């Protein structure tokens, strides 16, 4: 399909089968490949490329609530990882790209990367259903050879994400040093000299995004990225000034090995965690996690920093949260709360130099309000 061809065949031959028995019809605009996933909705008006390439969306069908998607296309600079990780993409209206930055159209990129996508769906009705009834398992049928009854049964029978370790599926294979100069110059067009990197950190890759790595480098840190199952001994052998616990997909309670590693590192090295890394730190500090009804997915979630009483607008993507009542308040302080539902958005240890937040302070997509947290991490290490 030409990047300038805005016309798409609209016979509603594809459909989405939700586990509650609902069938929603549309037309295929991605790869001709059926699939299973948990359906979530994202309230962002844009940023679909960053969303698709965020490893935290592995295992999920992402529904965009904004009705028209695709007009800026796909380009190399805005990728947040080595590929697309969402299991599928659900939109209302596909607008093929007419933007000067586009290297390929959205539909062409989905086809090339094997991601099924369905358009023509009433995404606001679907969002209302998920908001009222909660996240659902679903089967996306785009090939035309699966009956509605079979698709519904496949959705019901699928294990879903509870109890599943997806961090091991999306992590890097081997350790690597982040190429900060090449990335920032080529992707962002930053030609000015970068700040001196006077700190060395190790970042656990549970599904890390590239802009996290850029943000750490812009904050004066050299970063070595390691796979999710890297032992504490191997991490400490790198003599890091700090350890970063990244974002990632699915159920934190299933990533038991990582929680044990984090627990062993507490007191040995300063740590900062975000998203899944935040949840793993909560588990390491004795807390518990639970599934939210429909999760937090979008770039407009208000969060209060309780130390300053300032409110920041944040980018989020998670289905699980730390149970506030499970935390030992003599050892753990809740530092941030979500103003929509009062869930835990940040914690810190009262005895050791570790802290974490539930959201994504690096944005991409999203606001830059929380970027100060990287400076807090620096301060934690330099003190």
For residue 185, the model assigns a pLDDT of 46
The DSSP result for 92-131, as a single string, is SEE-----TT-SB-HHHHHHHTT--EEES--HHHHHHHHH
For residue 173, the model assigns a pLDDT of 96
End position of a domain, from candidates 139, 157, 175: 157
The DSSP result for 253-264, as a single string, is GG-HHHHHHHHH
pLDDT at 224 over 90: yes
End position of a domain, from candidates 123, 157, 191: 157
Q: What DSSP element (H or E) covers 184?
A: helix 180-188
Of residues 296, 301, 336, 360, which has the active-site annotation? 360
Task: Give the whole-angstrom CA distance, residue 163 versus residue 172.
Answer: 21
Of residues 275, 296, 299, 318, which has the active-site annotation? 275
Q: What is the pLDDT of residues 245-259, one digit of tens each?
A: 999 999 999 999 999
In a domain, 290, yes or no: yes
Domain count of the chain?
2
298 SS3 class: strand
Asked if residue 54 and residue 137 are part of one domain, the reply reads: yes
> 32, 27, 23: which is closest to 10 by C-alpha?
27
For residue 46, the model assigns a pLDDT of 87
> 383, 340, 375, 382: which is closest to 358 by C-alpha?
340
362 annotated active-site:
yes
pLDDT at 34 over 90: yes
Asked if residue 372 and residue 223 are part of one domain, the reply reads: yes
Asked if residue 261 and residue 124 are part of one domain, the reply reads: no
State phi, psi for 90 to the nearest 5 degrees: -125, 120
Task: Look up the CATH number of the domain holding residue 366.
Answer: 3.40.50.880
Asked if residue 199 and residue 73 are part of one domain, the reply reads: no
pLDDT at 182 over 70: no
pLDDT at 10 over 90: no
Asked if residue 354 and residue 227 are part of one domain, the reply reads: yes
Asked if residue 239 and residue 356 are part of one domain, the reply reads: yes
Asked if residue 354 and residue 251 are part of one domain, the reply reads: yes
In a domain, 7, yes or no: no
Asked if residue 276 and residue 183 are part of one domain, the reply reads: yes
Asked if residue 281 and residue 172 are part of one domain, the reply reads: yes
What average pLDDT does range 4-27 have in this prediction?
80
Q: What is the pLDDT of residues 288-331, one digit of tens each?
A: 999 999 999 999 999 999 999 999 999 999 999 999 999 999 99
End position of a domain, from candidates 157, 176, 197: 157
- More confidently predicted of 87 and 4: 87
Of residues 80, 96, 312, 362, which has the active-site annotation? 362
336 annotated active-site:
no
Asked if residue 365 and residue 248 are part of one domain, the reply reads: yes
Q: Is the peptide bond before 155 cis (omega within 30 degrees of 0)?
A: no
Residue 62 structural domain: 14-157
pLDDT at 2 over 50: no
For residue 335, the model assigns a pLDDT of 98
Task: Look up the CATH number of the domain holding residue 54.
Answer: 3.50.30.20
Q: What is the pLDDT of residues 101-141, one digit of tens each?
A: 899 999 999 999 999 999 999 999 999 999 999 999 999 99
Q: What is the pLDDT of residues 361-373, one digit of tens each?
A: 988 888 888 899 9
For the chain, percent of residues with pLDDT exceeding 90:
87
Query: For residues 331-362, b (16+ Cβ closer than 10 Å) or e, as one string?
Result: ebeebbbbeeeebbbbbbbeebbbbbbbbbbb
């Amino acid at each position: 399909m030409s990047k300038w061809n805005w016309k798409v065949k609209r016979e509603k031959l594809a459909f989405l089968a939700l586990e509650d028995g609902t069938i929603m019809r549309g037309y295929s605009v991605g790869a001709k490949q059926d699939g299973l996933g948990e359906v979530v909705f994202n309230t962002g008006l844009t940023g679909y490329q960053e969303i698709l390439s965020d490893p935290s969306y592995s295992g999920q069908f992402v529904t965009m609530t904004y009705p028209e998607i695709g007009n800026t296309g796909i380009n190399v600079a805005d990728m947040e990882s080595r590929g697309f990780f969402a299991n599928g993409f659900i939109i209302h209206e596909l607008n093929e790209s007419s933007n000067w930055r586009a290297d390929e159209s959205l539909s062409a990129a989905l086809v090339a990367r094997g991601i099924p996508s369905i358009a023509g769906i009433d995404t606001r009705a679907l969002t209302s259903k998920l908001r009222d009834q909660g996240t659902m398992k679903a089967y996306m049928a785009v090939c035309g050879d699966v009956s509605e009854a079979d698709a519904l049964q496949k959705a019901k029978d699928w294990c879903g994400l509870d109890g599943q370790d997806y961090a091991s599926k999306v992590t890097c294979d081997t350790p690597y040093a982040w190429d900060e100069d090449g990335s920032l110059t080529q992707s962002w067009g930053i030609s000015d000299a970068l700040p001196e990197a006077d700190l060395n950190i190790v970042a656990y890759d549970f599904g890390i995004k590239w802009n996290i790595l850029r943000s750490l480098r812009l904050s004066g840190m050299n970063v070595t990225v390691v796979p999710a199952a890297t032992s504490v001994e191997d991490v400490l052998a790198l003599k890091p000034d700090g350890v970063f616990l990244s974002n990632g997909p699915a159920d934190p309670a299933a990533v038991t090995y990582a929680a044990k590693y984090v627990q062993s590192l507490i007191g040995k090295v300063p740590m900062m965690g975000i998203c899944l890394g935040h949840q793993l730190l909560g588990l390491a500090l004795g807390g518990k996690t639970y599934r939210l009804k429909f999760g937090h997915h979008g770039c407009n979630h208000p969060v209060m920093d309780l130390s300053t009483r300032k409110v920041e607008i944040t980018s989020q993507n998670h289905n699980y949260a730390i149970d506030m009542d499970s935390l030992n308040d003599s050892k753990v302080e809740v530092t941030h709360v979500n103003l929509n539902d009062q869930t835990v958005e940040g914690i810190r240890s009262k005895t050791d130099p570790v802290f974490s937040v539930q959201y994504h302070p690096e944005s991409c997509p999203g606001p830059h309000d929380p970027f100060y947290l990287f400076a807090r991490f620096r301060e934690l290490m330099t003190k």
